[in-house]
């Protein structure tokens, strides 16, 4: 099945099925963790496609291709890499906010409240008219119909949704809009001369990446580019909420600076960074950065030859194009949590989430794949390129692979062995302490992926590009 899933990705890069012969996939097949969805094989395919694109860039530098390999079990573990972190040999807490979760509603359905960020939590609580107390939230939600609550929370600039079945989502206007799109678009947005890769000893050496994303998917993309030699600078701001442990998880390999883009002087500083960058990755809702002069077309004028990677929740088309969303929200509205709850009931009744953040991490791997493909096109064809994808498109792609028969879902372990986790892990010296974490998954014969820079606190660096890495 892994090669079949890989085959769905090859056309995005203009490749034929012959490329599957260049990839070695080991480690068995799904189910690897308790879910009927093919999360492990999908992860192996996404990472494998990335590896082929990285090998192409290496061939561009050296004339040599690399042997590419990926282990499906290890790839699956990477879909919850935050779980396996230790700081100074102690576990890193990954606890969610206490009122975040799924609640029964008045009409016999379920509603999901996404409350990890303070602003989204405040929006939900204001709609419900209660304090931050789970019992109070439970009672308040029970007075609402699920769809009415969904609409009210979205109107209040919150995040969440009504739990739908897969059948209900299939007939939803937003699902139809997403179905009209490919999994990912890689399109030229402006002309410019061909541009060689910067000098260097790794596939992405000297390639500069600005990372204006948060949470998991976008930061995973930038982290993945860094492990192949890219110079990555994450840009955030003090007023933007974050989830601490996720910054440890996705911060490997990055410089980390802060710029409040509400201030003109900081916006101009960012423009200066853009002029000297190669790739720009952002995760704002459609049109948001365009209002600050940072659309793909505007950056292509500012920096001809830029690769612009754009992520959002529900795509740039359809009635939900501007809706806030996260991995868990997409799972909720698309029928995944409903199906997961049917097959793998939790400690409490109702819908259940994947045992991993599959949509987030898969999206990050696919963004990196698309960015690498676009970068090679810039070398040979020239031009500025847009790579565009959404969490909902990736969720749809994941569901399109079908489910594992229920008869094969008995006695599926919910964890990897300690020996496996130890073999897949490494230790980085960081300003916060000694961080134990999963190492990169992908196997490359000449340039094994690695991170040169450790995770650092937000705003640790000045917003200035250092010399390009070699």
- pLDDT confidence tier of residue 120, bands split at 50, 70 and 90: very high
Per-residue pLDDT tens digits for 52-92: 999 999 999 999 999 999 999 999 999 999 999 999 999 88
C-alpha gyration radius of the chain: 21
Identify whether the C-beta of residue 73 lies closer than 8 Å to the C-beta of residue 27: yes
- pLDDT confidence tier of residue 225, bands split at 50, 70 and 90: very high
Compute the distance between CA of residue 179 and CA of residue 174 in angstroms, rounded to an integer: 9
Distance linking the first and last C-alpha atoms of the chain: 38
Compute the distance between CA of residue 370 and CA of residue 12 in angstroms, rounded to an integer: 8
Q: Which residues contact 90 (CB under 8 A, 6 or more apart)?
A: none
* Span 168-190, average pLDDT: 98
Closest CA to 434 of 85, 81, 80: 85
Taking the CB of residue 416, how many other CB atoms lie within 10 A of it? 18
pLDDT, residue 24, reads 97
- pLDDT confidence tier of residue 346, bands split at 50, 70 and 90: confident
pLDDT, residue 38, reads 98
β pairing state of 307-312 and 279-282:
parallel
Q: SS3 of 14, please?
A: coil
Per-residue pLDDT tens digits for 393-433: 999 999 999 999 999 999 999 999 999 999 999 999 999 99
Residue 113: strand pairing partners: 101, 160
343: enclosing H helix or E strand? helix 336-343
Q: SS3 of 391, please?
A: helix
Q: Which residues contact 330 (CB under 8 A, 6 or more apart)?
A: 313, 314, 336, 359, 391, 392, 395
pLDDT, residue 443, reads 98
How deeply is 222 buried, as exposed, middle or buried, from its count of CB atoms within 10 A (0-12, 13-18, 19+)?
buried
pLDDT, residue 138, reads 97
- Site of tokens 């920096």: 303
Compute the distance between CA of residue 296 and CA of residue 308 in angstroms, rounded to an integer: 6
User: Is residue 244 predicted with pLDDT exceeding 90?
Assistant: no
Identify whether the C-beta of residue 177 lies closer than 8 Å to the C-beta of residue 142: no
User: Is residue 287 predicted with pLDDT exceeding 90?
Assistant: no
pLDDT, residue 116, reads 87
Total residue count of the chain as it appears in this document:
470
What are the C-alpha distances in Å from 293 to residues 259, 287, 450? Answer: 15, 10, 34
pLDDT, residue 274, reads 98
Identify whether the C-beta of residue 252 lies closer than 8 Å to the C-beta of residue 428: yes
* Span 252-266, average pLDDT: 96
User: Is residue 1 predicted with pLDDT exceeding 80?
Assistant: no
How deeply is 18 buried, as exposed, middle or buried, from its count of CB atoms within 10 A (0-12, 13-18, 19+)?
exposed
DSSP track, 207-253: -EEEEE--SSHHHHHHHHHHTTT-EEEEEE-TTS---HHHHHHH-TT
pLDDT, residue 200, reads 96
434: DSSP letter: E
């Amino acid at each position: 099945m892994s090669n079949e899933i890989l085959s769905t990705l090859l056309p995005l890069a203009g490749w034929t099925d012959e490329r599957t012969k260049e990839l070695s996939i080991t480690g068995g097949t799904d189910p690897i963790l308790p879910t009927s969805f093919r999360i492990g094989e999908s992860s192996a395919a996404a990472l494998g496609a990335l590896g082929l694109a990285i090998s192409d860039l290496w061939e561009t530098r050296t004339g040599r291709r690399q042997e590419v390999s990926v282990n499906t079990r290890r790839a699956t573990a990477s879909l919850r890499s935050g779980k396996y972190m230790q700081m100074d040999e102690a576990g890193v807490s990954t606890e969610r906010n206490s009122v975040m979760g799924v609640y029964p509603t008045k009409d016999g359905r379920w509603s999901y409240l996404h409350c990890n960020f303070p602003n989204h939590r405040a929006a939900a609580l204001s709609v419900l008219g209660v304090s931050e107390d789970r019992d109070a939230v439970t009672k308040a939600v029970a007075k609402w119909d699920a769809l009415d609550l969904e609409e009210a929370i979205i109107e209040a600039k919150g995040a969440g949704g009504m739990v739908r079945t897969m059948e209900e989502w299939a007939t939803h206007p937003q699902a139809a809009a997403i179905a009209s799109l490919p999994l990912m678009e890689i399109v030229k947005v402006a002309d410019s001369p061909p541009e060689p890769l910067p000098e260097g000893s790794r596939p992405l050496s000297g390639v500069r990446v600005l990372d204006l994303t948060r949470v998991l998917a976008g930061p995973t993309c930038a982290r993945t580019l860094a492990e192949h030699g890219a110079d990555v600078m994450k840009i955030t701001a003090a007023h933007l909420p974050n989830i601490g442990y996720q910054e440890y998880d996705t911060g490997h390999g990055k410089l980390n600076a802060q710029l409040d883009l509400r201030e003109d002087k900081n916006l101009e500083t960012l423009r200066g960074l853009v002029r000297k960058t190669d790739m720009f990755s952002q995760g704002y809702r459609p049109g948001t950065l365009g209002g600050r002069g940072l659309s793909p077309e505007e950056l292509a004028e500012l920096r001809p030859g830029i690769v612009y990677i754009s992520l959002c929740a529900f795509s740039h088309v359809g009635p939900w194009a501007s809706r806030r969303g996260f991995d868990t929200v997409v799972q909720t509205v698309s029928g995944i949590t409903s199906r997961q709850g049917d097959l793998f009931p939790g400690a409490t009744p109702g819908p259940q989430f994947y045992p991993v953040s599959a949509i987030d991490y898969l999206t990050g791997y696919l963004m990196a794949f698309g960015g690498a493909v676009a970068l090679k096109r810039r070398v040979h064809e020239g031009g500025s390129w847009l790579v565009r994808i959404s969490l909902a498109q990736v969720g749809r792609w994941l569901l399109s692979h079908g489910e594992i028969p229920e008869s094969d879902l008995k006695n599926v372990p919910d964890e990897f062995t300690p020996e496996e986790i130890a073999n897949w892990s490494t230790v980085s010296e960081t300003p916060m302490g000694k961080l134990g974490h999963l190492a990169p998954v992908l196997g490359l014969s000449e340039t094994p992926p690695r991170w040169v820079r450790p995770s650092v606190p937000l705003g640790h660096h000045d917003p200035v590009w250092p010399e390009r890495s070699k």
